[in-house]
Amino acid sequence: MPKLDERLKAVAVQIRSRVHADIGSDHGHLLKALLTSGRIERGIAIEINQRPFENSRSTLAGLNADVRLADGLEGLSPGEADSLSICGMGGELMTRILEPHPDRVPPDVVLQPNRRPDAVRYWAFQCGFQLVEEQLVVGRQRYVVMRFRRHPSSADPAYDAVDREAGLLFGPLLIKRWETRFRDILVEEYQYLKELQQRTEQSQHRLDVLEKLLRCNAIL
């Protein structure tokens, strides 16, 4: 994928559809890579701020793409896109973008939160989107790239044979694969939380769930 870092490359390989919308397009490089590689036929870039809007418009000039200045899903009509991506925001902000317009969320969604991926998993679990892929990308920071697919069933098989709360907090597919890098990250967080002199209710909950998960996998 041209002009993409490892984070956005991991996002791009999860996308293949006819019309794809990217919210918070910033420089527009993701859509350009998807269009020039043939992974999508048409792109829609949505940006709330003027400067990134201009950047995307310049990057996507001459390509089959619309660049729109709008607030999230307010710039997309129901059924207009087959897939959607949001990258580089906190998980809580992503859910605030997705929740007000459920009829405008396409059936395929790829999300790359910079923090609070658990907020994204909670949204998907509650809104009928199944987790079909989950990837840990480690560069200057650690990122999780997740692809969801709308499904009429309320049950998500990604969480089968995984403690529900651990799966929502740390990623059910990552837990099932239990790769060395992922395990080491969990151990590092456990040690950090264990050494905190004062914990919030949220950090104590993460520590409790994490300790149970590590014990179940014979790490503690």
Based on the fold, state whether residues 197 and 102 are members of the same structural domain: no
**pTM of the predicted structure, to 2 decimals:** 0.94
pLDDT, residue 2, reads 57
88-141 confidence digits (pLDDT tens): 999 999 999 999 999 999 999 999 999 999 999 999 999 999 999 999 998 778
Last residue of a domain, one of 135, 153, 171: 153
CA distances from 65 to 9, 31, 133, 161, 163 (A): 19, 8, 26, 42, 42
129-184 confidence digits (pLDDT tens): 999 999 999 877 899 999 999 998 778 999 999 999 999 999 999 999 999 999 99
Q: Which domain holds residue 129?
A: 6-153
Last residue of a domain, one of 136, 153, 170: 153
CA distance 178 to 190: 16
User: Structurally, how many domains does the chain consist of?
Assistant: 2
Residue 13 lies in a domain: yes
Asked whether residue 215 carries a pLDDT value surpassing 80, the answer given is yes
Residue 73 lies in a domain: yes
Asked whether residue 45 carries a pLDDT value surpassing 80, the answer given is yes
CA distance 135 to 5: 15
What does residue 61 show for φ and ψ, rounded to 5 degrees?
-60, 135
Based on the fold, state whether residues 42 and 114 are members of the same structural domain: yes
pLDDT, residue 185, reads 95
CA distance 50 to 128: 33
CA distance 81 to 63: 17
Residue 172 lies in a domain: no
